[in-house]
Structure 1
Amino acid sequence: MRSIIKITTLLFLMLSCQDKKALKTNKDFITYKIKLATSQKELKLIETELEKYNYDTIIRNNLDAISDKYYDLEKFEDYNRISTTILKKSKKINDTTGIIEGLCKKGAYYSNMYRLDSMYYYYTKAENFSLETKNKYLLGTIYLNKAVINQNLNDYYNSEKNSFEALKILKNKHNYYLLYNAFLNIGYASHIQNDPVEAIKYFKKALEITDKIENKKIVLSLKGQVYYYYCLAYNKKNNYEISLNYAKKGLIIDNFKIKDPHVFCNLNNCLGYSKLKLNDINAKNHFIESLNIAKQTNNILAINTSNLYLSEYYLKYNNLQKAYEYSNDALTIANENKLTDDKLKTLLLLAKISPNKATTYFEEYKTLSDSIINTERQTRDKFARIDYETNEIISEKDSIQKEKESILQQLWSISSIAVFVILMILLFYFIKSRNIKNKELKFIQEQQNSKEEIYDLMLNQQHHIEEGKYLEKNRISQELHDGIMGKLTAIRLNLFILKKRKDEETIEKCLPYIDDLQNIEKEIRQISHDLNQNVFDDNVTFISIVENLFTMIKGHSDIEFKLKVDERIDWEIININIKINIYRIIQEALQNIDKYSQATRVNLNMNKKENEIHIKISDNGIGFKIDTNKKGIGIENMKKRMAEINGKFILESKINKGTTINLIF
């Protein structure tokens, strides 16, 4: 069955390539390039070039040619994609021919995939559309493809009927390749329906018309195929002498063994089968030769036919072991490739070869035969449903169109009122939204002022703290220098007795004191110097405020804090609102670390990178799962504050590996 599908898949492709008029436009060169294209890459480049133009019949013809090229290259998904494009874009511009072409191309795509239901659906839609619009451009091809589908469903009555419908349309179009296939379909349907006389009549018509086919590359193969069908018809009439002659005539037409092994195997098997029926012991040689060639070309159908004929041959000459081996091979291949017809023939043959198992084979034969009948009945019902539903869709479409026109008239009558109401609503909404926006701006301004006041208060408070520290340091420095230093210096001066008394006893007593006093003097001077030096290093700044947060936590915790600040950051020029938000985020982060992290070390790094400031707060605490843990209001507030200053908030945490917060603004 599949061999017939593959022969007729090209029916639409061959017809759609004909009668394309060359237009004298800038697009002619693209048409020329399509003809020369030989690869998928070249075709895709041409597709890109075509996208620059608005879709029209010329572009459709070019896309049609590209899709056919894809089919020849066996790039079937690209072929289907272009077919879908033609169908959709043709609908938008009401291009009837393009719509029919698109539907037929979709049918051809599913034909190649052996998706008969989808193939039938698209060809039925194309048929109904052609009849509805009276555009018979592809109607003959549509009927012929539907006939092929019927044939594959063993519905030979409708296959014959659709083939005759195709003949009515195609007989005046001089497309001889399509006529050839129509005659062949009718002949094969008659052959299956046990009318060999009618079958031979149409096979003869198919053979005669091959002389008119212009494509000489395939003519000889088409002739050979007809001779093969002749053999089938005469075998059914048990006229094996005539079948033998037709097989010989077919084989001498051309060197099919090299040029078309498929046709050769069919004819050579028919020749061997005629000899078998005429009791020629050399029949076996033809079957073996066909089997070997079929295996080389992976022709499954020919392999199984050769196996069955060899089994029948050995059965006739009572070599039951050989007969069983070839039948068993045929059964295995039939099961693997779902060749139900071959399986039925094999089961009957095995029943003859193994009489002791005949009952088992006959039961399996009956079960499979009933299953095939049920499947065919269900499939035919399905296809009948597709016909019905497609017609229903067309009827509904007409009804919807009428309803649409009626609704449009009603819409026009109320459109003025609707537009007026909408404009009034929009005006009201605009006025209200403007008032709300003004209030929001006023509130934001007040909030900004409040934030500035808060920051000023924070700075003043910190200034007072630093001023107290400064005074205290000075007091301690002065006390050390003027008080303790004065006393110690006086003691040292009193020890000048050594200049007067230099006896060993006096020296021995005074030297330790002198050494101790000198060490104390150095130590006190260093302390005094350091205290005064630190006074000049401390400034009331943003960093001071942040450091104060560390101090507050250190008062009740053993956490070690490390602050690293990039000297290039000038906090004085940074907006107050930004500093307040950053301060609050750092404050919240440190409080969370203190409460929950169980950390022993916290690093706070501030770096400048081009026009951004990066702040990284990291701890070595227990961490938490970001995705599963319920996020508290603190983290949400941090995110909102960063969003308010158009910054980035990045939170990272791993169990037992700590938590890191990155602020970028």
Structure 2
Amino acid sequence: MKRFYCLIFLMLFFSAQSAAQELKETLIKAFTSQDSSDYYFKIAKRKIKTPADEAQYYFCKNARCCDYNQLDSAVVYGEKALHLLQKVGDIPSLLTVYNNLTKVYRKQGQYDKAIQYSLQGIRVAEKEKKENWIAFFNANLSLTYHDFESYPKGIYYGKKALNYWLSQKKLAPDMICNALNAIAINFDDWNKPDSALYYHKKVFRYFKGKDTIYIGDTYNNIGNTLLKQKKYAEAKRWITSAVKISDKNFEINGGVKDNNYYYERATNYTNLATIAFQTDDFDKAEHYFKIAESYVNKSQNAEKLRDFYFQRSAFNKKRNHLAKAVQDQENYIKIRDSVFDVERAQIFSELEAKYQNEKKEKQLLQSKTEIREREIEIKQKNTQFLILGLVSLALLCIIYLVYRQQKLKIKQKEQEFELKSAITKIETQNRLQEQRLAISRDLHDNIGAQLTFIISSVDNIKYAFDIQNQKLDTKLSGISDFAKSTIIELRDTIWAMNKNEITFEDLQTRIHNFIDKAQEAKSDILFNFFVDDALKHKKFSSIEGMNVYRTIQEAVNNSIKYAEAQKITVEVKSEADKVRISITDDGKGFDVNAPVRGNGLLNIQKRIAEINGSFTIESAPSGTTIRILL
């Protein structure tokens, strides 16, 4: 069932399309046919199905009547077409009908209505933004004001049209020519021939060679201006060329006698007749006036009729045919009075004022609308910027949170790594401590026991045997003392190995024990030992602590052995972020620049270098000072 309805719809659609196409083809035949136009229009009328079809029918009737000077019919069909075209929204056809009605009313001398329809056309063109049509209607206004002999306004509107066409990237020579012609004829009849010729001759910039066949009216208009300047021979050449161009166009158009055909010949032969009677060639003037009269009547153009009667009146007056001159003068005045009355001039002003007021109101409304739209646009932009700012802030917050989270993860990993490293270090230290404890136990239990056994054995030998040999007794005493000294050293080593860290307070106790023993051995030497209170709790590794202890021990031993000192001082002080140790004696000193130093000094230097310290020694006959900077 659905397929059936779809088929019916398609048949109706294509049927409608086909009917519209048939109507279009019939209207084209009606418009272009010379003898069978009425026949085709009757057929077309039977094919009308929609308002759009009816609008096109009256549109074509209006155009046909305009082209063939059926002016009253053109007005009737034009008014009907306007109503229908507005209803169906066919803007191009609507603007064309406004243009046709403008031309019809201008031909009839009803310039107020011509201007009214031009202004209505401009309103529609402005609303639809059809710039080409706006320019075209301005050119129409220029021609209408010319025929009404309001030349300044005619020039004003002609220049508006010209400026538009010249501003286009792609120039339209026919439109430029139309505007130039409108400006020039206003200057011509305003009695400004130089300006008229200037604008007329500018046309030849755009039409040259064979193309001049399209500008026969320019040849005629130049001839008309020269005629008014009484340059009759030159004027005749230009107008004769215009007649030849008109005849050639008549052949090209297939012998169609339309509105342009009658209008051009009415103008050409009126001008030729004027030249003939001004040069006193009355027979030729009579001949040309007869030809012109036929064309003028068929053109149904009020301006052409007015010009014709004015020129023929002057001709009859010149040859003393006063009755004919008076008759032509009365015809001229009759036409002029029907066209140029005070009320009509007032209507012109009112129409233009109304249009200008409407335009100003429209511009004001447009300005208000633009301001309102601008305000809305600004609000929208502000809202967009606010949203963008909030989104940016949110993104920044997210980025910050992600960064912070990542940083926390990195920090956590670093802490984990540090913790693992610390645990590993602690485990390593614990293993080292265990190893140190094991070594210290081995040293104490094995080597310590063996040294104690040696000391016991030596002492037993000395007491068990009455040794008379002094050298042997001294040797045994030396062995006993060396073993005792080694045990002391061993105990110091075991003490250091059993500690992870050593403070100056620990060292102080150890050094005091050492100095006390030295004091017992050398009662004639005064020993002083001082440690800055701020450094008592400063910590060293066991290696650093032992190196510092051994260095002080070595330095004191050297002073005892070699310096013959009476006073030995050991000072440990804080200096900025460093520790300074000084061992000073008042002994006899020695030469620090001697090539060979003792092993004691070399050992001190090596020990301090191992713990990244610096070592200096100063010596004089008044004493020696060793300085260590840690």
TM-score (norm 2): 0.43
Pair member with larger Rg: 2
